[in-house]
A and B are shown apart, each in its own frame.
Chain A
Amino acid sequence: MKILTHNMLTSNIIKSVKDGYPLKIAATEVQEVDVDFNPEFIQRLLAKLNWSVICEAITQLDATKDIELPENLTDEVKEDEDMLRKIHHVLLEVEVIEGKLICPETGREFPINKGIPNMLLNDEEV
């Protein structure tokens, strides 16, 4: 699971959960992969992201906790190539392989195995 994917996930598919966002990340194995850098793609992504959730997510992983990202996405940030490369790395190149996602409201855990979060619910939960 990439941090970009985490940005789009909620647990409010569970009946009793209102927002369920952001999900907490508890990782036991993280891997870094190489993805071609495409600045225009990253710029377009930034328009759709919940940026504060990205900033919070990186503090939960050893692989990214020392990466410094700006608090606000200013126009300067969006034009700064070094910054876009950093953002590219965080969003697309860091993957949680084993671990779990945790619902902030109920504590319900969603396991991540082989990089794939299992978001399926039991019948009672929907």
Chain B
Amino acid sequence: MLHTMETQFGDIDGRRVADIGCGSGRLSIGSAMLGAGYVLGIDIDEDALDICYNNLTDLEISTVDMLRMDALALPPSLCKCFDTVVMNPPFGTKHNKGIDMKFLRAGLELSTTAVYSLHKTSTREHILKVCNDWGVKAQVVAELRYDIPATYKHHKKRSVDIEVDFYRFEPANK
């Protein structure tokens, strides 16, 4: 994923990158390794940030900074402070429907150039329509299969394979 962002679009090397919902920091670390000048990882969850911190220390990565913050209530001072935003947002479930679109909105606020994100293929039509309404250019860069371990009680199968689109979005007001 990150290789595509860099080799096809040049959106990582020497860029300022924000990773919204950074979790254990996979995307932040990848961005740093591909030459991002500065990466800000944002997550709401203390345990996730702890793991992220340990991963950064182990790998001796020094260009990533982290914040514990609610991605859905970011201060306006962060707006347009980043070239590129990367994220792997929580997929909407029964209880937080549409959270991936709220993440996307936040990403579009922070970025000047490109937002990369993953969304369920089943929502593609909806996403393309919403982006059209927002004046945001949306492009499906790749289709992936994503294996979700059965962490929720209501999942009957051990794990479910879902189809996921990998998008590149361009914010409207460059």
Interface residue? B40 (CB, 8 A): yes
Interface string of A4-19 (1 = CB under 8 A from B): 1100111111000000
Q: Which of B14, B37, B68 contacts A118 (CB 8 A)?
A: B68
Q: Which of A10, A11, A12, A33 contacts B62 (CB 8 A)?
A: A33
Interface residue? A2 (CB, 8 A): yes
Chain B residue at minimal CB-CB distance from A117: B67
Interface string of B8-47 (1 = CB under 8 A from A): 0000001010000000000000000000011010001000
Interface residue? B166 (CB, 8 A): no
Contact status of A34 and B62, CB under 8 A, knowing A9-B75, A12-B76, A114-B50: yes
What's the nearest-Cβ distance from chain A to residue B64, in Å? 10
Q: Which of A20, A35, A118 contacts B63 (CB 8 A)?
A: A35
Residues of chain B with a CB closer than 8 A to A10's CB? 75-77
CA of A13 to CA of B66, assembled, Å = 18
The answer to whether A119 touches B69, judged by C-beta atoms less than 8 angstroms apart, is yes
Residues of chain B with a CB closer than 8 A to A34's CB? 62
**Count the B residues whose beta carbon is within 8 Å of the partner chain — how many?**
25
Interface residue? A115 (CB, 8 A): yes
Interface residue? A54 (CB, 8 A): no
Residues of chain B with a CB closer than 8 A to A41's CB? 14, 37-38
What's the nearest-Cβ distance from chain B to residue A86, in Å? 17
Interface residue? B49 (CB, 8 A): yes
Interface residue? B73 (CB, 8 A): yes
CA of A121 to CA of B73, assembled, Å = 10
The answer to whether B69 touches A5, judged by C-beta atoms less than 8 angstroms apart, is no
The answer to whether B38 touches A114, judged by C-beta atoms less than 8 angstroms apart, is no
The answer to whether B68 touches A38, judged by C-beta atoms less than 8 angstroms apart, is no
Residues of chain A with a CB closer than 8 A to B50's CB? 114
Q: Which of A4, A40, A116 contacts B68 (CB 8 A)?
A: A116
What's the nearest-Cβ distance from chain B to residue A109, in Å? 14
The answer to whether B38 touches A120, judged by C-beta atoms less than 8 angstroms apart, is no
CA of A67 to CA of B65, assembled, Å = 22
CA of A93 to CA of B62, assembled, Å = 8
Q: Which of B66, B75, B81 contacts A116 (CB 8 A)?
A: B66
- 13 new A-B contacts, CB < 8 A, other than A1-B67, A35-B63, are A1-B65, A2-B38, A8-B40, A9-B77, A11-B75, A33-B62, A41-B14, A48-B80, A92-B63, A116-B53, A118-B68, A119-B69, A120-B70
11 contacts between A and B (CB under 8 A): A2-B65, A8-B77, A13-B75, A21-B77, A45-B16, A114-B53, A115-B66, A116-B49, A116-B66, A118-B68, A119-B68
Query: Which A positions have Cβ atoms within 8 angstroms of B?
Result: 1-2, 4-5, 8-13, 20-21, 33-35, 38, 40-41, 45, 48, 92-93, 95, 114-121, 126
